[in-house]
Chain A
């Protein structure tokens, strides 16, 4: 997070990551019982931020592994760069004799050999192939794996805290789920949201904030939106509002039933949603005209 508020009081900057009791308990439990913690939730509710924040708080190194659709489990452990070795053999390079020169360490390897306890973030695990989590079962359970090429066993010196995030695009296998703690970050309610915003923009004018929150939660209620705006969108939007120094009245006057909110581009990211919104506004105006 780039907007860390620097408090004058201590060496540790005050956090702008707000958790609920449930979530804290989940992290505590994962640390105590040394299980991986699986985090799900709407996009933009701070799943990835959690790992960063936990690492910061524990003062532990963070090893992030961002999963793509082509990621394989093996890549998190190590990779054997056979192509380089083939090339070197053609060129008669000295290094070719030692296979260790061609073993590329993965994220988990780094975390396992770390001197102090580390935090491992496996981000968006659902992006990978369906079999991906199953391939990691043994490694996450035992916190060790074998390097086939060198007959070497890498064992974790300190069991790292593993935080896994998922966007629910694929279902994860039961065997994998059984080994994890699971927490679903539900969308923050109004008071939590207020605290989150306060942590990020402590200087925001309160009347502007309450007007903005009003618009924001109204907007989330609009039926049929393809992508509901979430926390990160709200924060972006507020940044724009602050940058433009809009007075709160500008928002208050804007009932979302009659006009598009200011800078709606930060909140509605889908042109179908904007169209839907415009249609709703049009219908509302018609009704109002009829009544008057």
Chain B
């Protein structure tokens, strides 16, 4: 009957594997998490959720699944007791017991009686809803696994009684802030960016190359012949183009976060700024952008094809700014922005566009739609998930959109 719960969790996008589900089942059969619903919630989360970012989503599904069916947990326990062949349970349970414990089980009236007692206790527990883990936690004779941590019934600290919680744990949604779809801070950015790396040995050889040394020493008749090699370093090169000013002012803080995260993460990072869309000029110093700029062809000549290109912009503007010569709001551009974007794509095939604007507005803004088409769908929101997708995408080169410009 829990399979329905499993399906719902998966529908909610929680990455639950069969392995983890079986662990949960195994644990339930060993008596873990069967004390009451709260206990089950904690145990299920322990088994199934491996990232605090999913805690909130798990809590929501849990709440949704159990709300309005208070009887269900009892039914669940019943199904656990009956649906499994009893023989199987017997051998599975008794195997783990020591001789002494077995004797104690016998003293309690044998296995069957004990199972009955357990079922009864669980029922009472459900009704009374207090007393915490006293039930199965003490004594150390329990074959249900609770004795594990505290064989003598000693607890860590003095937790005392379970506090009367007015609101169920999963309804408090305490982990809302940790959800991965939320926007991100520097630290999270760094974590995502860290995936983008390509280790290579370069620089001064200052590490002992053991294999080579052994080989060389052996062929040298046993006389020591030391060989060194360079350390492995992240050799990825990143080119970051950031939209600045205008509608991007709303996203200034987010861009700043990305910028500072990227700067500390990549040794070879170059950043250029642009306004609204890419044309023939970019600049590195915003204050003197009109006097000191880099022309885009020069940029293409300067940086090699192995650079990863990350463009950050909200792509929110008039469609003319992308498609028409002279469309730019700042100057007269000879060629439309789309052409320049395609040139950049040809020069740096590993490229993505990060959009700080929420994806729900993308479809309703024509210029975003157009940019997305030009980027062959390689546009991602600036969230943890979005950045991760973008980084994955950067591993493969772009298939340029139709009508690529050849000149």
Contact = CB atoms under 8 A, between A and B. Distances in A.
Interface of A: 12, 15-22, 24-29, 31-33, 35, 38, 40, 53-54, 57-58, 82-83, 86-87, 89-90, 130, 168-171, 174, 177-184, 186, 191, 195, 199
Contact of A170 (B49, B55, B191): B191
B149 A28 contact: yes
B19 interface: yes
Contacts of B163: 191
A183 B156 contact: no
Contact of B23 (A27, A33, A169): A33
Those 7 A-B pairs whose CB atoms lie nearest each other, nearest first: A32-B145, A31-B148, A177-B50, A18-B157, A184-B52, A28-B149, A182-B50
A142 B33 CA distance: 25
B208 interface: yes
Interface of A is mostly: helix
Interface in B184-205: 187, 190-191, 194-195
B159 A20 contact: yes
B302 interface: no
Interface of B is mostly: loop
Contact of B32 (A33, A38, A177): A33
Contact of B39 (A25, A31, A195): A25
Contact of A199 (B39, B55, B155, B157): B157
Interface of B: 15, 17, 19-20, 23, 26-27, 30, 32-33, 38-39, 42-43, 46-47, 49-52, 55, 132-133, 145-146, 148-150, 154-159, 162-163, 174-175, 178, 187, 190-191, 194-195, 208, 210, 213-214, 217, 222-224
Contacts of A182: 46, 49-51
A196 B159 CA distance: 10
Contact of A186 (B33, B150, B174): B174
Nearest to A18: B157
Contact of B149 (A17, A57, A174): A57
Contact of B47 (A27, A53, A89, A181): A181
B23 A35 contact: yes
B157 A21 contact: no
B157 A27 contact: no
Residue among B38, B55, B157, B214 with most chain A CB within 10 A: B157
24 contacts: A15-B156, A16-B157, A19-B159, A21-B38, A21-B133, A24-B155, A24-B159, A25-B42, A25-B133, A26-B46, A28-B148, A32-B145, A32-B148, A33-B23, A33-B30, A33-B145, A38-B50, A82-B214, A168-B187, A169-B187, A174-B50, A177-B50, A178-B20, A182-B51
